[in-house]
Amino acid sequence: MKHHPLKGANRLKLGVFSANADGGLAITDVPERWTASWADNLTAAQIADRAGLEFLLPIARWRGFGGKNRVREWSFETFTWAAALAASTKQIGLFMTVHVPLVHPLYAAKALATVDHVSNGRAGLNIVCGWNPKEFAMFGTSLVEKGYDQAEEWLQVLERAYTSDIPFDYDGTYYKLKEAISRPASLQMPRPVTMNAAFGGPGRDFAARSCDYLFTTFSEINEAGKHVADIRHRAERHRREVGVYTVCHIVCRETQTEAEEYYHRYAVEMADQEAVDTHMAGKKEFSQSHDREAYDRYRQRFAGGAGSYPLVGTPEHIAEQMIAISQQGYAGIALSFVNYTQELPFFCDRVLPLLAQAGYRQ
């Protein structure tokens, strides 16, 4: 086993986000919208793998946002999805996304270890606490008030499961375990790489204390560095370093006009408005995932890519913006497209060489 792809040499790491879910990150009714079939997931993953992208990051979603297409209602479960892709790819990192309150850490430890073995050390874990009460109600439970306190214990149990070769007891607030054991351990030690996706203070502190990477959002590139500084500061209190990543949705075309017209078409004219309303209202009420003013100013970004930052334009323009994001201190970007299999090849062929020329990737 070599090191995990997220620990590779590229200054700016890149990955594919949310291909396991209907629509990807978009909420649109264009006919080429992503339906997240298994065949398309496999094709997209293999394109990204061959192009040398560092990771695939799935979204954990249990119900959709309604509207015409019941967007996101269809999504593949992420451990099993990653296991299948582990066997069908060669070098790319494979994250799994787990909702702490819905999955027991011993179950997750075994499933994650399985993928780490199948992939020869390419597994990664995205630890989220959840934000959608309707999703939790489906399981007969509700959002946990101090979700990140539970996440802390959850991760301790997972690590103990890997590092302890003999049965152990665990006596926490959320978990009380007797003679727990879980073999095999992961190949990566003491555990596979971990990330947390959060925006608010408690999530940032959890990542600062306990995760390798934090994925977060920003509103404008020129002030995006303030989030990196804040997270670094929080990590320094624990004498740790945390790699900060972000999320962008991409429309890359030969000309700027073509890209902008398509962005307007899919994320304004053809947006699935009812679902956009439901998604935005839920996020605004129950999560701290964005700057507060983002909801009023950036409806197009929510239809275009769940509120993430849009990179829209020519390959040159997109490469420049990615470099600017890197210069703000971000170690990597998770990318979404309207249709991953149709759009990844052009992006990889045209943007990656520009990033290489500029010294950001090999």
Ligand X SMILES: Cc1cc2nc3c(=O)[nH]c(=O)nc-3n(C[C@H](O)[C@H](O)[C@H](O)COP(=O)(O)O)c2cc1C
The residue from 83, 100, 312, 334 that contacts ligand X (CB under 6 A) is 334
The residue from 19, 45, 128, 325 that contacts ligand X (CB under 6 A) is 128
Residue 150 touches ligand X, criterion: CB under 6 A: no
The residue from 215, 263, 266, 298 that contacts ligand X (CB under 6 A) is 215
217 or 339: CB nearest ligand X: 217
Sort residue 66 into left (φ over 0), alpha (ψ -120 to 50) or beta: left
Residue 219 touches ligand X, criterion: CB under 6 A: no
Minimal distance, residue 185 CB to ligand X, in Å: 25
The residue from 5, 24, 121, 130 that contacts ligand X (CB under 6 A) is 130
Q: In the chain, helix, strand, coil percent, each to 5? A: 45, 15, 40
Query: Of 117-125, 213-221, 227-235, 258-266, which segment contacts ligand X by CB under 6 A?
Result: 213-221
Minimal distance, residue 232 CB to ligand X, in Å: 17
170 or 218: CB nearest ligand X: 218
Contact 182, 162 (CB under 8 A): yes
170 or 298: CB nearest ligand X: 298
Q: What burial class does residue 3 get, using C-beta atoms within 10 Å of its C-beta: 0-12 exposed, 13-18 middle, 19+ buried?
A: exposed
What is the spatial distance between Cα 350 and Cα 347, in angstroms, rounded to a whole number?
A: 5
Residue 97 touches ligand X, criterion: CB under 6 A: yes
Which residues ranging from 235 to 264 are in contact with ligand X (CB under 6 A)? 247
The residue from 203, 243, 310, 313 that contacts ligand X (CB under 6 A) is 203
Minimal distance, residue 308 CB to ligand X, in Å: 8
What is the spatial distance between Cα 307 and Cα 247, in angstroms, rounded to a whole number?
A: 9
Residue 199 touches ligand X, criterion: CB under 6 A: yes
Q: In 3D, which of 294, 295, 300 has the Cα closest to residue 262?
A: 300
At CA 126, angle to CA 120 and CA 132, rounded to 5? 150
Residue 231 touches ligand X, criterion: CB under 6 A: no
Residue 210 touches ligand X, criterion: CB under 6 A: no
91 or 287: CB nearest ligand X: 287
Where are the extended beta strands (E) located within the chain?
13-17, 55-57, 93-99, 123-128, 168-171, 176-180, 193-197, 213-216, 243-252, 309-313, 332-336
For ligand X (CB under 6 A), the number of binding residues is 20
Q: In 3D, which of 16, 21, 47 has the Cα closest to residue 36?
A: 21
Minimal distance, residue 164 CB to ligand X, in Å: 28
Residue 24 touches ligand X, criterion: CB under 6 A: no
Q: Could you identify the residue written with the tokens 């992503």?
A: 34
Residue 82 touches ligand X, criterion: CB under 6 A: no
Q: In 3D, which of 134, 154, 133 has the Cα closest to residue 143?
A: 133
The residue from 131, 154, 266, 330 that contacts ligand X (CB under 6 A) is 131
The CA-atom distances, in angstroms, between 256 and each of 5, 108, 251, 259 are: 32, 44, 10, 5
Residue 344 touches ligand X, criterion: CB under 6 A: no
Residue 340 touches ligand X, criterion: CB under 6 A: no
164 or 287: CB nearest ligand X: 287
Residue 197 touches ligand X, criterion: CB under 6 A: yes
The residues pairing with 246 across neighbouring beta strands, listed in sequence order, are 216, 333
288 or 300: CB nearest ligand X: 288
Query: Of 63-71, 125-133, 156-164, 309-317, which segment contacts ligand X by CB under 6 A?
Result: 125-133
Angle between helices 201-210 and 147-163 (to 10 degrees): 20
Residue 289 touches ligand X, criterion: CB under 6 A: yes
Q: In 3D, which of 280, 325, 328 has the Cα closest to residue 301?
A: 280
At CA 217, angle to CA 158 and CA 294, rounded to 5? 135
59 or 158: CB nearest ligand X: 59
* Chain residues that interact with ligand X, rule: CB under 6 A: 59-60, 97, 128-131, 197-200, 203, 215-217, 247, 287-289, 334
